[in-house]
């Protein structure tokens, strides 16, 4: 993959984004960054279609189950953390895969 490029898998809930993104990550030896606005929250599993551990197939997933729903977490916070992860992946010559439907 070309350095400093991103792959984005975008679409509504339950269209197969998870499976496609895991398959891509396995093929290119990379990691997934969730862009779902609700999966960032711990204990918000119902209604979010949050990936299950077995579905990850050993692929590292970021930005899932990070904060409590009672904590404030803004788009700025999301951007700051995500950019750190993206830059780190670039340092290891990996192409980050952004996955979600919220548009964050």
Residue 2 lies in a domain: no
pLDDT computed for residue 2 by the predictor: 54
Task: Answer whether residue 26 shows pLDDT above 80.
Answer: yes
Q: Is the pLDDT of residue 17 over 60?
A: yes
Residue 72 lies in a domain: yes
Domain membership flag for residue 80 = yes
41 φ/ψ angles, rounded to the nearest 5 degrees: -90, 135
CATH number at residue 30: 3.40.50.300
Q: What is the pLDDT of residue 51?
A: 87
Q: DSSP E strands: which ranges in the chain? A: 7-10, 32-34, 61-62, 97-100
Number of independent structural domains in the chain? 1
pLDDT digits (tens, 9 = 90+) for 31-76: 999 998 888 999 877 777 788 899 999 999 999 999 999 999 999 9
What is the share, in percent, of the chain residues with pLDDT greater than 90? 71
**List of long-range contacts for 19-25, beta carbons under 8 Å, 24+ apart:** 19/55, 21/97, 21/99, 22/55, 22/56, 22/57, 22/59, 24/97, 25/59, 25/97
In the chain, the N- to C-terminal Cα span, in Å, equals: 24
Whether 1 maps to a domain, the answer reads no
Is position 41 within any domain? yes
CA distances in angstroms from 17 to 55, 62, 91, listed in the order given: 12, 15, 26
């Amino acid at each position: 993959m070309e350095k400093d490029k991103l792959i984005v898998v975008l679409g509504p809930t339950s269209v197969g984004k998870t499976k496609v993104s895991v398959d891509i990550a396995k093929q290119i030896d990379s990691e997934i960054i969730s862009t779902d606005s609700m999966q960032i929250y711990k204990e918000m599993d119902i209604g979010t279609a949050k990936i299950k551990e077995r579905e990850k197939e050993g692929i590292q997933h970021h930005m899932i189950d990070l904060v409590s729903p009672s904590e404030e977490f803004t788009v700025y916070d999301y951007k700051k953390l995500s950019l750190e992860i993206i830059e780190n992946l670039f340092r290891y010559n990996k192409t980050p895969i952004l996955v979600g439907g919220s548009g964050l």
